[in-house]
Amino acid sequence: MEETILVIDDEEKIRTTLRGVLSDEGFRVLDTDGTPQTLDLVAAERPHLVILDIWMPRIDGIELLERMKSQQPELPVIVISGHGTIETAVRATKLGATDFLEKPFSIETLLRSVYRAIGRLTSDDEPLPERVDTSGVTTMPGRSQQQTHARTIGKSVVVQGRGLHSGVRTGVILHPMPPGTGIVFGAISASDVTIPATVDYVDSTGYATSLRREGVVAQTIEHLMSALHAHGVTNLLVKMQGEIPILDGSALEFCQLLEEGGIVEQAESIAPVQIDRPYQIGTLESGKFVRIAPADRFEVHYTLRYPEPVGQQDYHYIHRDARSYQEEIAPARTFGFLKDIQMLEQMGLANGGRLNNCILIGEQGVINPPLRFPDELVRHKILDLLGDLYLLGRPIRGKVTACGTGHTDNVALVRAIWEQLGTRPTVH
């Protein structure tokens, strides 16, 4: 059956262009300039998809979105705007918008969004989205392959907050993606560039892990990646604005966001990375190293050592499922030392650090108690490690032992494993 798309936009040129493009793709296209009778048109035609401009002189696009979703909750709506802000994107997504596109956008960007919204990501002729092809990647030699299902989320979800290092208001929108996509980051703006969440695109590891590709940057991704790792999410589009928000400094709100979206298993089979031999960065003698060795499950033993008042903390985490992660690791918040604040400010970092999103430690101990765990600091190091290791793009089976390491060491370990994979994922 020919699918109907309704375009609601007060700009005639936009309507004409979209009508031509979508008609060429085989859709039945209706359009309106946003009259007060628009809601009646939606009710009468029952379109399969609505493309809605937010800013129109004759009707409030946000109000129209809210009313359409109240009457037809399952109706996919792509919101477009020439004055896009993170606040607008967040509000539209919370009201049920399938996607948010900022004008001007390319035809390819629009079609990717359209096909994603109606549940068929490609046209009859070719795949539209950029994706990571891992079909040629095998597990480590000498280990049994234990397949698991790929996962995404059931619906788009959104959260906003402040960037830890930039200090600016930011947000993140998570969109479900089909099998074979991988985890990719993209800008909320109209950029066509997406960044696969793999080690090849790591831009920096100083105080956070950040990705970069062709001018598009995804900063401070480790807490979100940690939650994705723990929940086994393998296909996802992360639309964001420069930096992932720090929220409360932990991964707990990202876990809640994933549960709000609903974890969905997919038909695609995923072969976990089975570690076949030890890989190590650093040395035991130096007191700073991270090592991974063969094991039939994923586990981490981390030793943290700082001068007093922190001292030494040890924690051994065995990953069983998302619940164990949420109970033991996800609530642990990022931390910093009062003596380092001036240096970080001079580096342009930690501008978004607040007493409600960071454990601050002074000469006498924690300045903003209470802690969530007596050993919350070492648990947060494990949280970061899980996020960085997920730059392999797949779950891991191996035992990690680490002491005194950070993002740079974690990513170096990922690179060592990545090189051993033999066939590297290629971006199309």
Gyration radius of the chain over CA positions: 23
Which three-class secondary structure state does DSSP give residue 73? coil
As a whole number of angstroms, the distance between CA 51 and CA 244 comes to 27
Helix residue ranges, H only, 25-106:
38-45, 61-71, 86-94
Q: Which helix (H) or strand (E) holds 378?
A: helix 376-389
- Burial track 88-120 (b if 16+ CB lie within 10 A, e otherwise): bbbbbbebbbbbbbbbebeeebbbbbbbbbeee
Q: Which residue of the set 48, 223, 380, 407 is catalytic?
A: 407
Query: What number of helices (H) and strands (E) belong to the chain?
Result: 11, 26
Q: Which helix (H) or strand (E) holds 379?
A: helix 376-389
Active site residue 407: yes
Say if strands 288-293 and 396-403 run parallel, antiparallel, or are unpaired.
antiparallel
Residue 192 CB coordination number (10 Å): 15
As a whole number of angstroms, the distance between CA 428 and CA 425 comes to 10
Please give the distance of CA 328 from its chain centroid, rounded to a whole number.
Answer: 21
CB 7 within 8 A of CB 1: no
Residue the block writes with tokens 């490609």: 122
* Enzyme catalytic residues: 407
